[in-house]
Each structure stands twice: as C-alpha cells, then as structure tokens.
C-alpha cells in the first residue's frame, strides 16, 4: 500500500469503519490517561496524517517482543498497528528474503530519509562484529546507518532499551542498548520482557496525533505507562499495607491472595503498566497468576539477585571470605594496638 | 549500578566488614591491654567481688534515688529508644528476611502495625532526648560531635524505614536505598563512636563493680 495515502484513506481502503477507528483512538487515549475528549481530535488528526514509514530491526533478541506485538489481545489493534504504519522492513514477518530484503531496507532508508520511525528490538553486541551480522554487515553498523535517517527511534523490549539478557553479567558479547550507540536522535524506550503491545501502539499514535513523542521519564520511558510501579497499581497492595504476606507459593496466605513481597516480588521497584493493562486478553498479569513481578522492565533486572530474593535481602554473595578477612584484620589491629600499649607502658616504667 | 543495587551489594559488604573489623579491634584492643594486678588485701574476698560486678550492671539499669527526679524521664525515654529499636530490628518482618538471608535463622515476626507504631515511638523518644540534650545546659556542655552524630545514625534508619513502608518522600527504590545506606552508615560508625557502648557497657560496669566491691566500697 503506497505511503502517500493518509491514514484515514488507507483505513477506508481496507474497510475499517470510522466507528472502529474511533474505538481504537478512544482505547489509545484511555491507555495514555488522556481525557476522553481527546479521542475525536486524535481520530481527526490521525486520519489526516500520512502513515509513517517504519523500519523494524531485530538484533540480539528472542522474538518475544514481536510475538507480544503481533499476538496482542486487542485484535483490532494488531490489525491497526500495521494499518497505522507502513512497515517497510521486518525480517521475521516480511515476504522478501536475502538480497531482496536488504534492497527493500536500503530503499526504505533512501526514500524516507529523515522521516521514518525506526523500531529496534534486541541488544547490539560490540564485543566482536561477528557476533551478529546481516548480509555481512554487523549489527552495530546496521544500527548506526539506519539511525542516521530516522525521525525517532523506539527501542522495544528490555534488550533494546537497557541491554536485557544479552547484557547480563558477564555480558560475553559486549551487548549494549540502542541508547549506547545512538546519541543524536530522540529515543523512546519501551522495556519489558516482553513489552506491552499497546504501549508501542500508543507511542506511534501519539507521534501521529501531536507530531511529537510523549512525555518520557528519566529512563526515556513513556510516563503514561511507566509513571507508576506495579506495586502502586497492584490489587494485592492492601495486603502489603496490612502486613499480610504469603510465605510460600502454596500456603494459606498465597491462596488468599496476600502480598508476594516476601517471595521476591519486585513490584515496588518496577515501573510498568502490567497491573492496569494486563495480559492475555486482560485476563491477568503475573502477580494475579500467583507469581511475583520479576522487574523485567527495569535496567539490569537479570543481575539483581534471584527473582525469589526479597528486596530487603542483601545481594552480597561471598560473605564467608569477607567476614573472615574483616575478623582477621580487626583482631590483628586490636592485638597490635594492645601490644603497642604494653610496650609503651613497659618503656615508661623502665624510664622511671 | 543504581543506588539500591550498591546499597544491597558492595555497600552492605563493606559496612558489615568494617563493623566486624572495628568491633574486634576495639574489644580486643581493650581486653588485651595490660591490667596492673591489685596487690592489696581484698576487703571482701571470695565470690563477693564477682557478685558486686554483676550487681552494678543490674543496679545501673535504673537511676539511683538521689538522681531519680532529674534522670527518670531521660532514662525512660532511653529505654523506649532501646527497646523500640530491638522490636523494630528483631520483630519487623522485612528485617527478619534480611537476618535470615545473612545468618540463616529466623523467627515469627511481630504484627506490622505494632512494629510501625513502635518505630514511630522510637523516633519520638529519640527527638525528645535530643531536645533535652540541647536544652539542658549541663548535657549541652558535655555533648560533642560523637553524641550528635551517634544520635543521627541511630535514628536515620528508623525514619527512612518508616518512610519506606509508607512509600513516602520519594520513589520506593530511592527510599529503600536510603534506608539500607543509613543502616550501613550506622554499622560503619558503630565501632568508632559512643554506639560501642552496646558491647562495652556490661564489661565496664562489671569491672568497676568488681574493683569497688573488692576494695569494700559501695558502687
């Protein structure tokens, strides 16, 4: 479908009714905590907007982010995601392969230079160019080259946003997030393992409606979705406030839905919208299924101790060695100080 | 590495290391000092001096009647602070997680509401003690940096802990990090300031009581 068509024209051509489009806009406005009155204005602005060209690059990733996106529970959204944008390149789901695919990438870059939205999924290895290549070009070079002509970059998933699992200690490939390589373009991080699809849709919708990216927090995440912790919005929060905690995953407290803080839940330090948007068709989210939040939308979540280690617990591992060394040092200094004192006393006595 | 990761990892490692080394240094440095032998004939022999030492430890738990009027309130406030700290540290469910993680032992936690109330009472008593220290010309004259800083590092973890459970003041991860860091500051300062009385008050009182009883003096 040619990118010259406005979004409204392309939706009409695909048989999407105005009612369905308004419903989509209302759901996006609601998800971004915008007032309901914004929905018609959003629909009007988006209908007139040209569908932005989107290049979707995948690097060190597991395709979970794309799975989350394409299998989003809002079926109409899934369709609209691909009607909303003109997806020029995504090597997992595009029809061309090999040289034809690479040609379409370069063509998309040239034809839409300065205007396309670049979506990146996965971390980028800097340890050795050979750790990740496409058509003989390293991931880092592809990233740099493609970012040059982008209007904005969406780093989708924790790997692209913060390095994620590939960057976990000892980071054998020297994996880095997008923001480590690209310094001169606006970057929106949409972390999560996987991320919530509606967040990405909303960012694109916001970009089309207002011509700018939404407000971001200090980690470049959209505040509308990452402004509160999981804990703030958790339905088990009252049990935390009452001091009622499940001690094991199958005890009486767990069965009564008590707080999972003592079982390692990272909800209090994790900013994401899981507790409000939820997963699986709005059925539940991890805590509702009886498992604590693992903090997957936070930087370095993989290296912050066990998922089952409560937040008050120390991350200090080599305790025996440290304590033995400290005790030996303290005892030696104490004994040394006492001996020095005895010698000084003896000297004073001898001088008398 | 974020502040919370530092507090839970290297910060905890270094502060506990300094605490252990510092306490052993102070305790062994005192115990191994040369103590001149008392060659005089004991006025009271046998087990009496030992009993006198133990009695002094117990008697000093409450002010003598001559000083009761002046010292009753600060003594009571000090008890609230000390007992309150013990309840908060050894009764709070989150602290028990920390203790279990460190030492592998645990026991049932006290009700959270009771622990939070005790923490608030501890802070209030601590502030009252500080006010008295500043208002009273004698204690003000006797006080130095050690007194004020020891007061600060003792109450800072309680205040930040209450803030953390109430999700008050800043983002939870920041307040929790400040809470852990304030506890680590307490550990680092502990062996080198007046907080060391936790280890030294029993042996020092007992020794004084022993010596005085041996000489036939009341203590």
Q: Choosing among A248, A270, A301, A311, which should be mutated to test the B contact, i.e. which has the most B CBs within 10 A?
A: A311
Instruction: Parse chain A into domains and list their residue ranges.
Output: 51-226, 230-342
Is some CB atom of chain B closer than 8 A to the CB atom of A312?
Answer: yes
Per-residue pLDDT band for B179 (boundaries 50, 70, 90) equals very high
Question: Six-digit token pair at A317?
Answer: 């591992």
Q: Find the closest chain B residue to A310 by CA distance.
A: B97
* Domain end residue (candidates: B143, B162, B182): B143
Say which DSSP state A216 is in: B
Inter-chain contact A335–B32, Cβ cutoff 8 Å?
yes
Would the CB atoms of A334 and B27 count as touching at under 8 Å?
yes
Q: Give the CATH fold of the A230-342 domain.
A: Cytochrome-c3 Hydrogenase; Chain A, domain 2 (4.10.480)
Q: Which domain holds residue B168?
A: 148-194
| CATH fit for domain A51-226, picks 3.40.50.700, 3.40.1160.10, 3.50.50.60, 3.10.129.10 | 3.40.50.700
CB proximity A333 to B under 8 Å: yes
Q: Given an 8 Å threshold on Cβ–Cβ distance, is A330 in contact with B23?
A: yes
Which of A314, A330, A342 faces B20 most closely, judged by CB atoms? A330
Q: Which of residues 59-118 of B touch A (CB under 8 A)?
A: 93-95, 97-98, 101-102, 111-113
* B133/B175 same-domain check: no
Does B26 fall in a domain?
no
> Which among B3, B5, B8, B37 is the top mutation candidate for probing chain A, defined by the most A β-carbons within 10 Å of its own β-carbon?
B8
Please check whether residue B183 lies inside any domain of the structure. Answer: yes
Please say whether the beta carbons of B215 and B53 come within 8 A: no
Give pLDDT, residue A83: 66
pLDDT exceeds 50 at position A75: no
Grade residue A29 by pLDDT with cuts at 50, 70 and 90: confident
The count of C-alpha atoms lying within 13 angstroms of the C-alpha of A205, restricted to the half-sphere facing its C-beta, is: 30
Q: Does A322 touch chain B (CB under 8 A)?
A: yes
Q: Which residues of B touch A335 (CB under 8 A)?
A: 28-29, 32
pLDDT at A79: 54
- Predicted confidence at residue B92, as pLDDT, reads 94
The phi, psi pair for A154, rounded to 5°, reads -105, 115
A156: pLDDT strictly greater than 80? yes
Residue A310 vs residue B39, higher pLDDT: A310
Predicted local confidence at residue A118, as pLDDT? 94
Contacts of A263 in chain B (CB under 8 A): none
Ranges A287-291, A312-316, B92-96, B107-111: which has the least confidence: A312-316
Averaged pLDDT of chain A:
88
**Band of residue A72 on the pLDDT scale cut at 50, 70, 90:** low
For residue B195, what pLDDT band results from cuts at 50, 70 and 90? very high
Cβ contact B176–A311 (<8 Å): yes
Q: How far apart are CA A153 and CA A220, in angstroms?
A: 11
The answer, yes or no, to whether residue A324 has pLDDT greater than 80, is yes
Q: How far apart are the CA of B77 and the nearest CA of chain A, in angstroms? A: 28
Question: What share of chain B has pLDDT > 70, as a percent?
Answer: 99
Give the model's pLDDT for residue A78: 54
Give the confidence band of B148 by pLDDT, cuts at 50, 70, 90.
very high
Reading the block at residue B79, the tokens are: 């008890």
Residues 166-205 of B with CB under 8 A from A: 167, 171-173, 176, 180
Q: Tell me if B58 is assigned to some domain.
A: no
Q: How close, in Å, is residue A316 to chain B by CA atoms?
A: 5
Residue A36: the pLDDT is 77
Q: Which of A115-124, A309-318, B7-16 has the lowest mean pLDDT?
A: A309-318
Residue B55, pLDDT > 50, answer: yes
DSSP β-ladder status, A53-58 and A86-90: parallel
Query: What is the pLDDT at residue A77?
Result: 47
Count how many pairs of residues, chain A against chain B, have C-beta atoms within 8 Å.
118
Chain B CA closest to residue A301: B5
Six token digits for residue A132:
């990740």
**Would the CB atoms of B172 and A268 count as touching at under 8 Å?**
yes
Interface membership of A327 toward B (CB under 8 Å): yes
Residue A229 DSSP SS3: strand
- Are B112 and B134 contained in the same domain? yes
Q: Which of B4, B11, B14, B20 should we substitute to test contact with A (largest number of A Cβ atoms within 10 Å)?
A: B20
Q: Write out chain B residues lying below 8 Å of A311, CB-based.
A: 8, 176
Residue A198 has pLDDT above 90, yes or no: no
Is residue B5 situated within a structural domain? no
Q: pLDDT class for A80, splitting at 50, 70, 90?
A: low
More confident residue, A203 or A173: A173
Q: How far away is chain B from the Cα of A267, in angstroms, using its nearest Cα?
A: 10
Q: Is the pLDDT of residue B144 over 50?
A: yes
Instruction: Tell me which residue in B8, B21, B97 faces A330 most closely, judged by beta carbons.
Output: B21
Residue A23 has pLDDT above 90, yes or no: no
**pLDDT at A2 (0 to 100):** 46
Instruction: Examine the pLDDT at A69 and tell me if it is beyond 90.
Output: no
Give buried/exposed letters for A55-85 (b at 16+ CB in 10 A, else e): bbbbbbbbeebbebbeebebeebbebbbbbb
The fraction of chain A above a pLDDT of 70, given in percent, is 95
Q: Mean pLDDT throughout A85-93?
A: 79
Q: Does one domain contain both B127 and B188? A: no
- Whether residue A166 is predicted with pLDDT greater than 80 in this model: the reply is yes
pLDDT tens digits, A47-59: 887 778 889 999 9
- Shared domain for B180 and B130, answered yes or no, is no
d(CA A47, CA A59): 33
ipTM of this model?
Answer: 0.83
Mean pLDDT of B73-87: 96
- Which of B10, B32, B101 shows the shortest C-beta gap to A313? B101
Number of Cα atoms under 13 Å in the Cβ half of residue B160: 23
> Residue A65 pLDDT > 60, yes or no?
yes
In a domain, B122, yes or no: yes
Residues 211-230 of chain A whose Cβ lies under 8 A from any Cβ of chain B: 229
Compute the average pLDDT of residues B8-19: 95
pLDDT tens across A215-253, in order? Answer: 999 999 999 999 999 999 999 999 999 989 999 999 999
Helix (H) / strand (E) containing A176: strand A175-176
Q: What pLDDT, in 10s, does the model give residues A108-136?
A: 899 889 989 999 999 999 999 899 999 88
Task: Report the number of distinct structural domains present in chain B.
Answer: 2
């Amino acid at each position: 479908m040619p990118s010259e068509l406005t979004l409204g024209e392309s939706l009409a051509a695909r048989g999407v009714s105005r009612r369905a489009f308004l419903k989509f806009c209302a759901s996006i406005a609601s998800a971004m905590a915008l007032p309901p009155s914004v929905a018609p204005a959003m629909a009007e602005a988006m209908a007139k907007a040209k569908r932005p060209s989107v290049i979707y690059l995948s690097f060190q990733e597991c395709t979970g982010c794309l799975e989350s996106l394409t299998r989003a529970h809002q079926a109409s959204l899934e369709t609209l995601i691909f009607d909303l944008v003109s997806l020029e390149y995504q090597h997992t789901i595009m029809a061309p392969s090999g040289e034809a695919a690479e040609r379409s990438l370069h063509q998309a870059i040239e034809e839409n230079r300065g205007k396309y939205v670049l979506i990146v999924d996965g971390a980028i290895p800097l340890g050795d160019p050979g750790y990740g290549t496409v058509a003989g070009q390293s991931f880092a070079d592809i990233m740099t080259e493609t970012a040059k002509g982008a209007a904005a970059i969406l780093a989708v998933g924790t790997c692209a946003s913060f390095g994620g699992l590939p960057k976990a200690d000892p980071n054998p490939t020297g994996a880095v997030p997008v923001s480590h390589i690209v310094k001169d373009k606006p970057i929106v991080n949409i972390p999560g393992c996987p991320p919530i699809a509606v967040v990405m849709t909303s960012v694109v919708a916001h970009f089309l409606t207002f011509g700018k990216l939404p407000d971001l927090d200090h980690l470049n995440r959209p505040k509308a979705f990452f402004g509160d912790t999981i804990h703030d919005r958790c339905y088990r929060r009252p049990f935390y406030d009452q001091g009622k905690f499940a001690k094991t995953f199958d005890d009486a407290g767990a069965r009564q839905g008590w707080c999972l803080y003592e079982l390692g839940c990272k909800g209090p330090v994790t900013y994401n919208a899981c507790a409000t948007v939820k997963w699986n068709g709005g059925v539940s989210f991890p805590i509702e299924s009886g498992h604590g939040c693992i903090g997957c939308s936070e930087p370095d979540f993989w290296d912050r101790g066990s998922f089952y280690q409560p937040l008050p617990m120390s991350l200090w591992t080599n305790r025996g060695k440290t304590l033995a060394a400290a005790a030996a040092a303290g005892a030696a200094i104490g004994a040394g100080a006492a001996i020095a004192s005895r010698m000084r006393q003896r000297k004073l006595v001898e001088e008398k | 590495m974020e502040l919370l990761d530092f507090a839970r990892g290297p910060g905890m490692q270094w502060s506990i290391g300094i605490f252990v080394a510092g306490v052993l240094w102070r305790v062994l440095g005192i115990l191994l000092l040369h103590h001149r032998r008392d060659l005089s004939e004991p006025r009271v022999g046998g087990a009496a001096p030992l009993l006198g030492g133990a009695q002094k430890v117990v008697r000093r738990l409450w002010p003598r009647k001559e000083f009761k009027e002046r010292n009753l309130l600060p003594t009571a406030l000090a008890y609230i602070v000390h007992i309150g700290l013990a309840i908060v540290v050894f009764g709070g469910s989150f602290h028990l997680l920390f203790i279990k993680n460190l030492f592998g032992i645990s026991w049932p936690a006290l009700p959270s509401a009771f622990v939070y109330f005790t923490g608030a009472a501890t802070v209030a008593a601590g502030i009252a003690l500080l006010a008295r220290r500043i208002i009273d010309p004698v204690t003000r004259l006797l006080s130095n940096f050690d007194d004020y800083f020891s007061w600060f590092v003792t109450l800072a973890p309680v205040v930040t802990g209450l803030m953390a459970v109430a999700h008050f003041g800043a983002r939870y991860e920041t307040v929790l990090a400040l809470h852990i860091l304030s506890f680590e500051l307490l550990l680092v300062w502990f062996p080198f300031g007046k907080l060391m009385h936790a280890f030294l008050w029993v042996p020092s009182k007992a020794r004084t009581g022993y010596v005085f009883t041996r000489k036939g003096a009341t203590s």
